[in-house]
Structure 1
Amino acid sequence: MCGIAGFTRFHDRVGDENTLATMGEAIRHRGPDADGSYLDERVGLHHRRLAIIDLSEAGNQPMHSACGRYVVIFNGEIYNFLELRQNLTATGYNFQTKTDTEVILAAYATYGEDCLEHLNGMFAIALWDKAESSLFLARDRVGKKPLYYGSRGRDVVFASELKALMAADLIEKKIRLDAVYDFFAYQYVPDPKTIFEDVFKLEPGHYAKIDSKGIEVRQYWDISFDAQDIDETTAVAKLREQITRSTKLRMTSDVPLGAFLSGGVDSGGIVATMAKLSDKPITTCTIGFHEEEFDETSFAQIVADQYNCDHHEFKVGENVVNSLREIVSYFDEPFADPSLVPTYYVCKLARQKVTVALAGDGGDEVFAGYEKYHTYAIENLWRSLVPAFIRNKLAPLVTRALEHVTFRPLRRLATLARALSADPALGFYMTNSQITDRQWQDLATTETKAQLQGYHPSHRSLEMFAKCQSDDPMTCALYTDMKTYLPGDILVKVDRMSMANSLEVRAPLLDFELIEFAARLKTQLKYRSGTKKYILKKAFEPVIPASIRNRKKMGFSPPVDVWLRNELKNLASNELFRADGALQNIFSLSHIQKMWDMHQSGRNDMSNILWPLLIFQLWSDEYFGGNQAEKTTRFSAEQST
């Protein structure tokens, strides 16, 4: 795993050797083993290396093709590189190293942009073609590896993380106000936006060609949900084959390898598969909490014992106070998924034992594993039973009657009523959103709302829901999550927290061929009569005990509501009400105070808003510093995505 950065110089002297060195130093944590640069009249490339395959200096980057025409820097792993190497050797390519990096060079020299169709892996690639004077940027199909880009005059700058661009002063740190609204709705800023104006994420499954005329972005892969006619028995057998194949591919490593073990079906199934493919015990790591209702370590121990794993665990508690600022600093944008905390610690624990870890990421999005899918199924059942004119009349009445209640089941009823008054696409956004329209209206200042000019963060979710083009709402929901929540939240969290600890994380359940297979299965094989991940549980039935398969999903989220009343209380109160804080130019401090008082009294759990407010302030401290009241007044309310 590595970090990449660079710029074009078609029109201006965007940077030099010192600029490249500065960019590389900002992302040293992504690749502490080696670094290198390439600079000519038209492009600059820099690479930080975490050595995984071919540990010799021959694997260092930038790497030049045998013909001398191409130069590449690359972050990630190509899992099928041995097969590709064999095929490309047959065409006459003479390999000089044993790396997957050189396989990319050979594939591009042979297939051009179509090389992406041949690559199975996680990657962000920057490849310079000297003959054409063009730069090729590409990101893997599901978005495991990040790639940011922006304009610098008429040229383009890019990097694995925004901090590389900020450290070299290559972008203007001008906050997009619509992205701030997005953040409070989703807890992350969805692709292709970033928190800054004129800087974007290259979307998963896309590539960009850049030359002196400009930049052109194209999509090269998407997910098809055209259902195949396959019976359950055959589907289970094929799924087991797919999981075994994808896990075996990801166990290739020249450094110590292990796995995350959460106590759930996904990671437990991956560990079981690894154990059957390995002739020695698997090193496993799990994170727990002192609050028993959030702790899964006992379930992880069941699987660890069953497969005689070399198992390690760590409990998160009061140490979060001392670590939160550091954890937030690894995210270039505000990011408030609370599981960033345990993810950081499990990566830190794993790195003490291994350099590569396999994880169960993707199982919930691919096979309908979240509780919200069950809620959404109930919503759609009610939509089919209750006429729209009745739902539209009753929903506002129920919502208004229950909007101020503190009893959680009644609050959930109010949320359900709001969702039922909407169509399936908007209803799914409401199911996903962390803040209601009413809460935002109360929280944001009059000036903030005026600057947004009616913008609403549902836009991205509705866009993806419509793009799915299926008559089945659950299918559209899964597609939407795989295009938004998965790359914007889950994979960002894992990438930043693993790279903060110089650890590579691989996800067998996100193999693109496995995703394509699962997508074409009938919805009833993924969600059946309230059973989530139905077929995945069937596939793991012989290797995972029923106590793991059938228990209610807990997730990986810490007790943030408790933390805000205890461990994090002093930190949060100091940050939320600072006179020079970033929050006061966007939000009503009096309303924040009201929410804070309700939360501290125990009358209401307001952590869904207080936590992202705290994260936003800590992020702003890290990337702006100084007097936030002055610096965050420069907003863009541009509506483009």
Structure 2
Amino acid sequence: MSKICGWLDGPNPPNAPLDDRTGLIGSMAERLGGLSDAGVQFRLGGRAAVAVRARPGDTEVCKDGDLLLALAGKPSWADAKLAARAAHTGMAQSLLQAWRERGPALLESLHGRFSLALVDGARHEALLAIDRVGAQELCYALRGSTLVFGATTDAVTAHPAVRPAIDPQSLYDYLYCHMVPAPATIYRDVFKLLPAQYVHLRDGALRTGFYWSMPYADDTPDDYARYAAQFRELLEASVRDATTRDSVGAFLSGGTDSSTVAGMMARVAGRGPDTYSIGFDADGFDEMEFARIAAGHFGCTAHEYYVTPADVAEAIPKIAAIYDEPFGNASAVPTYFCARMARADGRTLMLAGDGGDEIFGGNARYADQEVFERYGRAPAPLRALLNGVLGHLPDALAVGVLRKGRNYVQRASIPLPDRMEVFNHVEREGASRILPERLLRGIDPDHPRAIAREVYGRTRSQAMVNRMMHLDLKQTLADSDLRKVSRMCELADIEVHYPLLDERLLDFSAMLPADYKVRNGQLRWFFKDALKDFLPQATITKSKHGFGLPFGLWMQQDPQLSRMAHDALDALAQRGVVQPAFVKHLLERHRSEHASYYGVMIWVLMMLEHWLAAHPNARLDG
């Protein structure tokens, strides 16, 4: 993946010698990370600098007078005039011309995976933007009149104007969400762009906005036959377009998405692709059986690996270090070993199935929440009666079906999206039990929920499933899963594409009727029904599982993992990040109550400590 960085100074920049600015932009670019064969190109202006770190042939960086451009990815124009210009002059020059003619409005015609920075030193104007799903990343900070940007916070904080000061609020948000949800980053006043978001600096003022949103339609006619035919055509086209080279493989978990991608690769190529699957020797976590079913069904050349506790222990420091922020999604471990296996086998590109759940209705909570939404549609007098009879039932009387009724009424009375967090570990424990007093003064415990409410409400659709998917496109996908897969592929030195996030599929899914996504409690009803003669029957009927890691169980069984976890949590307490009493409580509950449930928070804290150890310049405010 190519990545960009740079800065734009204000009207009175420091008089840094050219060599110093050259060294600075080079230092920032090196901290972008990237694949092993990536090189750096940069351009300097009177008050600005931009750089791209990319593989040979993937670099777009240019200068035209005081105007500089850095472009990562390979976008395309929807506008025929701009497309013709790009074919004649190149993408970079067409972007510069479009900027002069249209300003930020050029983004409405730009498609595909990209991040870009246009900076004009003479006018002190800049435009930063990323693609519609957030496959590319971009962070920024405004310090005085200096705008600093980069694909990673590591690159941004390499600039002397930006201090790597950890924000206590972001630390709390990480514990709550297991990542730092955009627009914040782990650092104070350093921000991430959301999918389809842009930043425009002009006349000293910084403005953010969205150039695109999912075009959900709530009144689409029911036309199943037409939709099904179109869907299969789009699936095949998206996989064909994502398969840009011969040395390509596919992640194959055995779930609906990865099986669909592998199957379409077989159809496009006329032969089964090389697929890569990870297993676990742990009850309830191993899905290798389903991966083998899909591989056999499509004639794939299957490659398998069983991850061990020793593998996990070896990978933890490397995984924590490659992220520019704390990242607590434990499924990064199997993703890394899968990508590493493919790279060792000579693959240079992997296709991943991420995105299908978030655009076609595949997450279990979509069906679960519909059950609770029925309560809100009941007549107000009936809700008042149920709340009076069941909602405040004391524990002594709440037994059997009465307890279930009370729990239902209490949960159904919480509006979405807050209701989805009732089992959140931080919600259950309380911030005051986890964090020391000095950090509590700097946080708003409602902040993660406020972020979710904004995204949930920022869509034109009134359908619950569309609103929940809109939230998941941002938090589950852009904030977590895409960062997980992209960084683990980078660590394994292999590129990754996401065919199910092709914009044609996004637009198609948005216009489908809402009940095509979840129908009578059945997840991905349309997706599975339209592919029932293509996918194996076992794939169609299997329950939702995910790419989980049995860390909580293995920590009880493996002395090395147990020691690593205890040492990391003790070190975190000594740093003053968490209360020692909470660490003791968490480890005791893990031993005595529910290893998997409490193991999740242990993993999140352990990865935070390893990230802090790998980023010694990061300083905790508060």
TM superposition score normalised by structure 2? 0.89
1:144 aligns with 2:140: no
Give the superposition deviation at 1:197. 0.8
**Correspondences of 1:109-148 after superposition (within 5 Å):** 112-129=103-120, 134-148=125-139
Q: 2:53 aligns with which of 48, 57, 67?
A: 48
Partner of 1:387: 383
Task: Classify 1:446/1:307 alpha carbon distance in 2 versus 1 (closer, same or farther; 3 Å).
Answer: same
Moved more, 372-381 or 17-26: 372-381
> Could you say what secondary structure the match of 1:190 adopts?
coil
Check 1:364–1:388 CA distance in 2 against 1; reply closer, same or farther (3 A cut). Answer: farther
Residue 112 (structure 1) shift: 4.5
Determine the C-alpha separation between the residues in 2 that align with 1:366 and 1:550.
19
Count how many residue pairs are aligned between Structure 1 and Structure 2: 608
- Structure 2 match to 1:275: 266
How far off its partner does 1:194 sit?
Answer: 0.9
In structure 2, distance between residues paired with 1:363 and 1:527: 13
State the 1:34 CA deviation. Answer: 1.9
The C-alpha deviation readout for 1:504-563, integer Å capped at 9, x for no partner, is 221122122322221222221110112111111123222211111111121011112113
Alignment partner, residue 531 of structure 2: 540
Q: Does 1:24 align with 2:29?
A: yes
- For structure 2, the residue ranges without an aligned partner over 5 or more in a row are none
Gap change, CA 1:444 and 1:530, over 3 Å in 2: same
Query: CA 1:200–1:290 in structure 2 vs 1: closer, same or farther (change >3 Å)?
Result: same
Letter in 2 for 1:390: L
SS at structure 2 position matched to 1:117: helix
One-letter amino acid of the structure 2 residue matched with residue 21 of structure 1: G
Q: Who is 1:420 aligned against?
A: 412
Q: Answer yes or no: is 1:329 the counterpart of 2:321.
A: yes
Kindly state the Cα deviation for residue 39 of structure 1 after the two structures are TM-superposed.
1.0
SS at match of 1:127: strand
Supply the distance in 1 between the matched residues of 2:331 and 2:397 (Cα, whole angstroms).
Answer: 33
Inter-CA distance 87–470: structure 2 relative to 1 (3 Å threshold): closer
Residue pair 1:128, 1:135 contacting (<8 A) in 2 also: yes
Pick from 422, 426, 433: which aligns with 1:430?
422
**Structure 2 partner of 1:514:** 505
Aligned partner of 2:351 in structure 1 is: 358
Counterparts of 1:450 and 1:410, CA distance in 2: 40
Go from structure 1 to structure 2 and tell me whether the alpha carbon gap of 1:474 and 1:429 turns closer, same or farther (over 3 Å shift). Answer: farther
Counterparts of residues 435-450 of structure 1 (less than 5 Å): 435-450=426-441
Q: CA contact under 8 A between 1:50 and 1:502: conserved in structure 2?
A: no
**Match runs of 1:200-599 below 5 Å:** 200-211=191-202, 213-227=204-218, 228-253=220-245, 256-318=247-309, 319-352=311-344, 353-385=346-378, 387-388=383-384, 390-391=386-387, 394-395=390-391, 418-430=410-422, 433-452=424-443, 455-468=446-459, 470-567=461-558, 568-578=561-571, 581=572, 585-599=576-590
C-alpha separation between the residues in 2 aligned to 1:444 and 1:89? Answer: 53
**Residue of 90, 95, 104 corresponding to 2:89:** 95
Query: Alpha-carbon deviation of 1:313?
Result: 2.0
Percent sequence identity is: 27
Deviation (angstroms), 1:399: 8.3
* Secondary structure class of the residue paired with 1:62: strand
Between the aligned partners of 2:425 and 2:452, the Cα distance in structure 1 is 13
2:153 corresponds to 1:154: no
Kept in 1: contact 2:217–2:511 (CA 8 A): yes
Residue 62, structure 1, aligned to residue 55, structure 2: no
Counterparts of 1:7 and 1:411, CA distance in 2? 58
Look up the equivalent residue of 1:334 and give its one-letter code: P
Rate the CA distance shift 1:603–1:536 in 2: closer, same or farther, 3 A.
closer
Secondary structure of 2:523's counterpart equals coil
Q: Is the 8 A contact 2:422 2:428 kept in 1?
A: no
Distance 2:402 2:337 in 1: 35
Distance apart, 1:453 and its partner CA: 5.5
Q: Which residue of 1 aligns with 2:609?
A: 617
2:70 to 69, 73, 92: 73
* Distance in 1 between residues matched to 2:407 and 2:330, nearest whole Å: 21
Aligned: 1:186 with 2:197: no
Moved more, 463-472 or 290-299: 463-472
| Alpha-carbon offset, residue 312 of structure 1 | 1.7
Give unmatched runs, 5+ long, in structure 1. Answer: 636-641
Paired with 2:28 and 2:135, the residues of 1 have a C-alpha distance of 21
What per-residue deviation string (whole Å, max 9, x for no partner) do you get for residues 450-478 of structure 1? Answer: 44366442111112222235443222212
Q: Is the 8 A contact 2:297 2:536 kept in 1?
A: no
> Match of 2:296, SS?
helix
Contact 2:86 2:94 in 1 (8 A): no
Q: Shift of residue 317 of structure 1?
A: 1.4
Structure 2 counterpart SS, 1:337: coil
Deviation, 1:303, is 2.1
Cα pair 2:59 2:71 within 8 Å, conserved: no
User: 2-side partners of 1:436 and 1:413: how far apart?
Assistant: 22
Q: Is the 8 A contact 2:169 2:444 kept in 1?
A: no
Distance between the aligned counterparts of 1:115 and 1:174, measured in 2?
35
- TM-superposed CA distance for 1:440, in Å, is 3.3
Relative to 1, partners in 2 of residues 1:162 and 1:231: Cα closer, same or farther, differing over 3 Å? same
Q: Displacement, 1:415?
A: 7.3
Amino acid corresponding to residue 574 of structure 1 in structure 2? D
1:310 Cα shift?
2.9
Return closer, same or farther for 1:499/1:70 CA change in 2, 3 Å cut-off: farther
Structure-1 separation of matches of 2:149 and 2:393: 50
Label 1:341 to 1:17 Cα distance change in 2 as closer, same or farther (>3 A). same
Residue pair 2:254, 2:291 contacting (<8 A) in 1 also: yes
Deviation at 1:603, TM superposition (A): 5.5
Structure 2 CA distance, aligned partners of 1:571 and 1:562? Answer: 14
Q: Classify the secondary structure of the residue corresponding to 2:299.
A: coil
Measured in 2, the distance between the counterparts of 1:334 and 1:273 equals 35
* CA distance in structure 2 between the aligned counterparts of 1:410 and 1:438, rounded to whole angstroms: 25
CA RMSD after TM alignment: 3.2
Deviation at 1:328, TM superposition (A): 0.8
Distance 1:262 1:392, change over 3 A: farther
After superposing the two structures, state which structure 1 stretch, 143-152 or 472-481, moved more.
Answer: 472-481
Q: One-letter code of the match for 2:288? A: T
Separation (CA, whole Å) in 2 of partners of 1:327 and 1:317 = 16
TM-score normalised by structure 1 residue count: 0.86
Partner AA of 1:316 in structure 2: V
Cα distance between partner residues in 1 of 2:207 and 2:488: 31
Distance in 2 (alpha carbons) for counterparts of 1:383 and 1:329: 45
Write out per-residue CA displacement over residues 160-199 of structure 1, whole angstroms, 9 at most, x where no aligned residue: 1111223444421222222222212211111111111110
8 Å contact from structure 1 (residues 93, 106) kept in 2: no
Change (3 A) 1:559 1:376: same
Please say which of residues 195-204 and 218-227 is displaced more in the overlay: 218-227
Does the Cα contact within 8 Å between 1:388 and 1:421 map onto a contact in 2?
Answer: no
Note the alpha carbon deviations across 1:344-378, whole angstroms, 9 max, x for none.
22222233332222111111111111122222122
C-alpha change, 1:414 and 1:515, in structure 2 (3 Å) is farther
- Comparing 513-522 and 444-453, the one that deviates more: 444-453
Query: Is the 8 Å Cα contact of residues 186 and 434 (structure 1) preserved in structure 2?
Result: no
| CA deviation vs aligned residue, 1:381-416 (integer Å, no higher than 9, x gap) | 3444561563477456578999xx9xxx99999976
Structure 2 residue aligned with 1:163: 154
Q: What CA distance in whole angstroms lies between the structure 2 residues aligned with 1:536 and 1:301? A: 21
Contact 1:178 1:455 in 2 (8 A): no
